[in-house]
Amino acid sequence: MKVHLAGLAVALLAALAPAVVEGQLYNTAKQKLMDGKQIIGGTISSPDPAIYCAMANAGFDYLWIEMQHSPLTYQEVALMIRACPGAAAIPFIRVPDATEGDIQKATDIGALGIIVPMVSSVEKVENAVRFASYPPRGVRSQGGGQYGALWGSTYRKTANDNIMIIAMIESPAGVEIAAEIAAVPGVDVVFAASSDLRSFSGYSQGEPEYEALITAIHDETLKAGRKLGGPVAWRNREGFSFFQAPPATSLIRQGAKALLTTTGSGVAPIEGSSRQ
């Protein structure tokens, strides 16, 4: 019965998958960046498909699925992504590391963004590009997965154009080679990890030493023609266009506080009318 239901789910996804042609961008987050706009991603670390789908339909451009600092498994994330095909937010995964196995699994289950943590060597981000890309650009094997059901029957011809690589610089060692990281072919975004840069450097935001690190990432990234990422609190910083919003738990807490301090309209919503 489980096998039968799984087959029905894949068939349903395939029916809902977009009809795409080679070279077409269905990664709407990437297209928006290419158009010179800012994009924001909500952070997910819960395996609950209902929470995932609520975030995916809340207005975010992409979802930052957190697999480095959470116990999420690839099976759980596959089910989450499969729960709401056609959601506006594109699935991105911060993988535990830039290993072939992690990146292969992330792309096979449908992620169109690979967020690579702790980049302090050029080799690490080069490997991420290779493992996420089909030949001739990379060494990704064909395998299987739900990617075709999510993104169409021509996925293997279009994946290299749609999958994004986001390189996170989290330490002064990474800042020292920011120019080399940004210059790696296939890197789309260089992300300045605000909290970890503070942790590893010992300096706080606003201090000259800290701001010098951010400026170095900023200048080298934009000079290389890449997009620059950071926390959503930095939306007004010049040059930044790729942002990570707080996790779902934080947004739930903020939403609850807002609800409890806001005067109601006097009209009760109809149960089941809100989009999940």
Hey, where are the domains in the chain? 24-257
**pLDDT in the model for residue 272:** 64
Q: What is the pLDDT of residues 77-134, one digit of tens each?
A: 999 999 999 999 999 999 999 999 999 999 999 999 999 999 999 999 999 999 999 9
Rounded to an integer, the average pLDDT of 27-37 is: 98
Mean pLDDT rounded to a whole number for the chain: 91
Report the share of the chain in percent with pLDDT over 70: 89
Q: Which residues are marked as active site?
A: 69
Say if CB 119 and CB 191 are below 8 A apart.
no
**CATH code given to domain 24-257:** 3.20.20.60
ω into 135 cis (within 30 of 0): no
The pLDDT score that the predictor gives to residue 143 is 85
Residue 51, pLDDT score: 95
The answer on pLDDT for 172 being more than 90 is yes
Residues 220-264 pLDDT 10s: 999 999 999 999 999 999 999 999 999 998 998 998 998 898 877
Which among 175, 58, 75, 53 has a CA at the least distance from the CA of 119?
175
Q: How far apart are CA 175 and CA 219, in angstroms?
A: 11
pLDDT value at position 23?
56
Q: Kindly tell me if the per-residue pLDDT of 19 is higher than 90.
A: no
User: Which residues lie closer than 8 Å to 73 by C-beta, 6 or more apart?
Assistant: 47
Strands (E), the chain: 39-44, 62-66, 90-94, 113-116, 164-169, 189-192, 227-231, 240-247
pLDDT of residue 271: 67
